[in-house]
Chains A and B, each alone.
Chain A
Amino acid sequence: MPTRGATVEFRGVTKRYGGATVALADLSFEVPAGAICALVGPSGGGKTTALKIVNRLIEPTSGEVLIDGRNVLSEDPVQLRRRIGYVIQQVGLFPHRTVAENVATVPELVGWPRGRIRQRVRELLELVGLDPTRYEERYPAQLSGGERQRVGVARALAAEPPVMLMDEPFGAVDPIVRERLQDEFLRIHERLGMTVLFVTHDIDEAIKMGSRVAVLQGGRLVQYAPPAELLERPANDFVARFVGADRGLKRLSLISVGECELRDVRTARVGEPVAGSARSADGNPFVLLLDGRGRPEGWVNVERAGAERFDAQMADPSSPLFTRTTRARDALSQLLASGVRTGVVVDDEGRYLGVLALEDVISLLRRDP
């Protein structure tokens, strides 16, 4: 069920309330099809206003929003909204309808046949990680906050919208659930490929979720850039302060171990004679012991091996294991927590690829502009 995303373009969008209050001032930017654009900034910055102008819950004073080149102002708002997914912090589920009925809302409005709706509801509940047979007949009051958010996402996705609007969707759940929901949403997005506009006041969430980040302050767009660029080159002092003094550390969360330069170390296999592995030229007595299939067992000091042949019992497994997709930030914190200087990088089958040294991660940090 991949959904093709649509481009969303803001053209000189201005929203004034009464005479003087300007909620949005001449907002112009384009979100490419299939991207997640995080709208971030302090409250009152105009994020939510911008979002609601896309599905015409709010009408702009001037300017226009184009979806795939079509001006939303020239469309019937009711029809328009049925093609745009919408998730808000308070979720807004219908308390008098079951989970299945909530998810079926838009397909029913646009008149899908019953069988197709039933199938779609089950498919969506599975997609958001809720077992259909357990959850279909429950009412929103019988769900936890995280479950409600999942149903909210499923309901928004129901009619395969090419554009999805999310207003602090994970703001009301605890940090652990939030992180899980974020990861699951990114996975869903990877599968479906719709365009997402995502409002948050949390810069970490913006950096994690957005392939583009739009920083809004006082109704103006201060910077619009991919997260890495935002962290490396904040457009002004406001953005620099907003992304935080730890922006170097934050940048590490955008880099995966696979993008770092790995080092090679001497390795030995279980069962090989110890005598064969002499001390290396730099005097390092440690070798990395691998099992028969090339998976690391741990470090062995060849000078203190005290046996003829390498054996898994000798290995010290204190180095953390990383895969290529491990975030550099997580790698750093694991290295610091385990008190060792190197981590071992393995492939999907757990086979040795190389090692990542603490110094190398730190040098990434120092590559600050």
Chain B
Amino acid sequence: MTAGEPLIRWDWVASHVPDILGRIGEHVVLAGIALSVGLVIAFGLAVLALWRPALYAPIVWVTGTMYTIPSLALFALLIPFTGLSLVTAEIGLVSYTLLILVRNIVTGIRNVPEDVREGARAMGYTRAGSFLRVELPLALPAIVAGIRIASVSTIGLVTVTAVIGQGGLGALILDGLILFFSTPLIVGAVLSVLLAVFVDAVLAAVQRLATPWARAR
């Protein structure tokens, strides 16, 4: 970093507003795709684990292993197959959401009290009806809690995908690193944190609205 240079040059920020907004947009899209795809896959895996309990341990083992692979290494490993592409970025991002989401969905469903489950069966719910109309709504707080953790960690992780040229706030950080210029680096990092906090707050509000019964005491 150049000596005598201030940590943030606000004039740079002011002249780059459209650029910064564009990066935020890219960041949201990258994280949004990862979370949506991750949720769909995790839901499928959770249903599989609930339907065949013996599959739960292997599913957790595989998704857990994926979770431990360092992201940079994973991207590097994928490049020979999928190149410097959105697919490469999303494979990495999605795989990091699975463990948290699968575990929260399965735990949420399993924690539905046995008497409630039996009540649903005895009232004449089909198995699918009981799952969709009774067990899933009751598991919602646990599921949303999982989505909140996954979204915060994904938003942080999206900054790394700039390395394989996918934009997002990570591109600002990368610019700063390459140019020895602290302003974009700080702007990218701070906005990434703010975005994560904001999304978490929105999801918390959604959860409150979706589960009025959980507050009733």
Residues of A within 8 A of B (CB): 55, 57, 78-82, 84, 86, 88, 90-98, 105-106, 109-110, 138-139, 141-142, 155
Contact = CB atoms under 8 A, between A and B. Distances in A.
Contact of A57 (B116, B118, B129): B118
Contacts of A98: 213
Given A93-B119, A94-B134, A96-B137, A141 B125 contact: no
B52 interface: no
B115 interface: yes
Interface in B159-185: none
B115 A81 contact: no
A95 B121 contact: no
Contact of B115 (A55, A78, A90, A142): A90
Contacts of A109: 123-125, 129
Given A78-B126, A82-B123, A92 B213 contact: no
Interface in B108-131: 113, 115-116, 118-126, 129
23 contacts: A57-B121, A78-B124, A79-B124, A80-B124, A81-B121, A82-B124, A86-B123, A90-B113, A92-B118, A94-B116, A95-B116, A96-B137, A96-B211, A98-B213, A105-B123, A106-B124, A109-B123, A109-B125, A109-B129, A139-B212, A139-B213, A141-B213, A141-B216
Interface string B202-217: 0000000001111011
Nearest to A91: B115
B138 interface: yes
Identify the interface centre among A94, A96, A106, A139: most chain B CB within 10 Å of its CB: A96
Nearest to A109: B124
A53 to B, nearest CB: 13
Given A109-B124, A141-B213, A142-B217, 17 more contacts: A55-B122, A57-B118, A57-B122, A78-B126, A79-B124, A81-B121, A88-B118, A92-B122, A94-B119, A94-B120, A94-B138, A95-B116, A96-B211, A96-B214, A106-B123, A109-B123, A141-B216
B138 to A, nearest CB: 6
Interface of B: 113, 115-116, 118-126, 129, 134, 137-138, 211-214, 216-217
Contacts of A82: 123-124
Q: Name the prevailing secondary structure of the B interface residues.
A: helix
Contacts of A96: 134, 137-138, 211, 213-214
A56 to B, nearest CB: 10
Contacts of A86: 119, 122-123
B121 to A, nearest CB: 6
B213 A97 contact: yes
Given A57-B118, A94-B116, A139 B126 contact: no
Contacts of B122: 55, 57, 81, 84, 86, 88, 92
A84 B214 CA distance: 30
Nearest to A98: B213
A13 B217 CA distance: 44
A307 B17 CA distance: 110
Contacts of B212: 139
A92 B217 contact: no
Contacts of A81: 121-124
Most buried by A among B113, B121, B129, B212: B121
Nearest to A83: B124
A25 B211 CA distance: 46
B119 A88 contact: yes
B118 A142 contact: no
A139 B216 contact: yes
Contacts of B121: 57, 81
Contacts of B125: 78, 109
Contacts of A138: 216
A95 B123 CA distance: 15
A152 B13 CA distance: 63
B135 to A, nearest CB: 10
Contacts of A155: 123
In the A-B complex, the 8 residue pairs with the closest CB atoms:
A92-B119, A82-B124, A90-B115, A86-B122, A81-B124, A139-B216, A92-B115, A139-B213
A95 B138 contact: yes
A243 to B, nearest CB: 30
Contacts of B116: 92-95
Contacts of A80: 124
Nearest to B212: A139
A92 B122 CA distance: 10
B90 to A, nearest CB: 34
A95 B120 CA distance: 12
A106 B129 CA distance: 12
Among B121, B123, B213, B217, find the residue whose CB has the most chain A CB atoms closer than 10 A: B123
A109 B123 CA distance: 9
Contacts of B216: 138-139, 141-142
